[in-house]
Structures are given as C-alpha cells and as structure tokens.
C-alpha cells in the first residue's frame, strides 16, 4: 500500500519535486521515512508518514482506524527527534543545490480512505492523500504547497462543492431529522474540475 501511494505521488508530481522513500534509519527502533519530498525551488523538505487504512462504515472499527493514525503521529515524533539529533542524515539524502541553506523540515501524516482529526503540532500535521498531489500540482514551490495543506485549502467548501440538507426519516411512528450531505444541483462538470483536490489516478 505504501509503495502504491508513493508511486502515485511520484507519477503525478511536477518535475521540480524529487520524491524519495522509503529511507531506512540507522536506528532499528525507528520506522523508515516513508516519503521525502524535496523541491528544487526552495529549501523546504516534507517528511511524510503514509497510512492507508481501509474505510469502514462499522462504528466499532473506527477506534482501530483512529489508533493507526495516532501511531503515525508518534512515528513522526520519533523521526523528528532523530533528524534533529542527526541533521547530516537528511542532508546526505537530498539533491545538492549550490548555496542551499539548511533545509526546513516539515512532518506530515498522509492518510488515505480513513481520516480523523488530530490536533496539529508546530511542525507535525495531518493531510489527505489526494490533497498532497493537488497541492504539488497547484503551487509554485513546496513551501506554498505546505501552506495550502496546513491551512486546509484542500477541504471541500460548503455551498460550492457540497450543501447540507435536513431530511426526515420515520419508522414505527417515530421521526428523526438528519443533516445529509448533497452535491449542489448547480455544480457543473466544469466547476467540479476547478474546485478541490482531484482524485489521483491509480
């Protein structure tokens, strides 16, 4: 699953981005770096932890999926500590650029299918798989792509990509109202192509 995610990002990213991974660390207690994205136009570097958890409709399985994402955050914290203590490791992995300043590392948990909110930290945050590709394809450089991801510009916008309606369901003489997500009837095919991150080809 990780290799498929990595390959899809590599195939869809503009040429200015170098996509590396997996990268094994010298400390066997730490996970591999699943994904490293370098930009030839900036000093930013993105360290990604890939998590493809099967989407479930069964409520009792949600805690297991959420725990997998939490584990991803813990793994990123371990990577961050190691790379802070051993900055030369990351420098050895990067393409050299003349006059390149010290790289600015950002750590991202990239989730596919299952998502849950995890409070971001100053340099560790969560995003969605298709949003990574969208941000790389629609940004001047990696710094801008990271900003778009961290400010959640990739999330669908109410009134543009979706609308909410209250609908009533009745059974046994008892009625309940639920708020249901719908696609706007006025959303044209053209508009669909302009808004939000596109689904990556597989």
Alpha helical stretches, state H, the chain: 2-12, 62-85, 87-93, 129-137, 142-150, 189-194
In this predicted model, what pLDDT tens digit does every residue of 131-172 receive, in sequence order?
A: 999 999 999 999 999 999 998 887 777 777 778 888 898 888
Residues in the chain: 202
Q: How far is Cα 33 from Cα 20, in angstroms, rounded to an integer?
A: 9
Cβ atoms 106, 123 nearer than 8 A:
yes
Name, of 72-76, 176-180, 181-185, the range with top average pLDDT: 72-76
Full-prediction pTM beyond 0.85?
no
Q: How confident is the model at residue 87 (pLDDT cuts 50, 70, 90)?
A: confident
């Amino acid at each position: 699953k990780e290799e498929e995610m990595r390959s899809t990002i590599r195939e869809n990213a503009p040429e200015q981005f170098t996509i590396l991974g997996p990268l094994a660390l010298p400390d066997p207690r730490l996970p591999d770096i699943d994904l490293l994205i370098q930009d030839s136009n900036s000093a930013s570097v993105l360290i990604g932890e890939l998590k493809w958890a099967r989407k479930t409709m069964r409520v009792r399985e949600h805690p297991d999926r959420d725990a997998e994402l939490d584990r991803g955050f813990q793994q990123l914290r371990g990577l961050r500590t190691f790379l802070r203590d051993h900055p030369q490791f990351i420098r050895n992995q990067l393409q050299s650029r003349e006059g390149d300043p010290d790289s600015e590392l950002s750590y991202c948990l990239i989730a596919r299918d299952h998502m849950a909110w995890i409070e971001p930290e100053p340099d560790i945050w969560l995003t969605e798989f298709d949003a990574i590709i969208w941000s790389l394809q629609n940004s001047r450089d990696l710094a801008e792509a990271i900003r778009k991801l961290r400010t959640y510009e990739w999330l669908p916008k109410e009134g543009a990509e979706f609308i909410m309606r209250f609908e009533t369901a009745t059974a046994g003489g008892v009625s309940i109202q639920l708020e249901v997500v719908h696609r706007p009837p006025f959303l044209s095919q053209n508009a669909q192509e302009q808004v939000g991150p596109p689904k990556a080809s597989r």
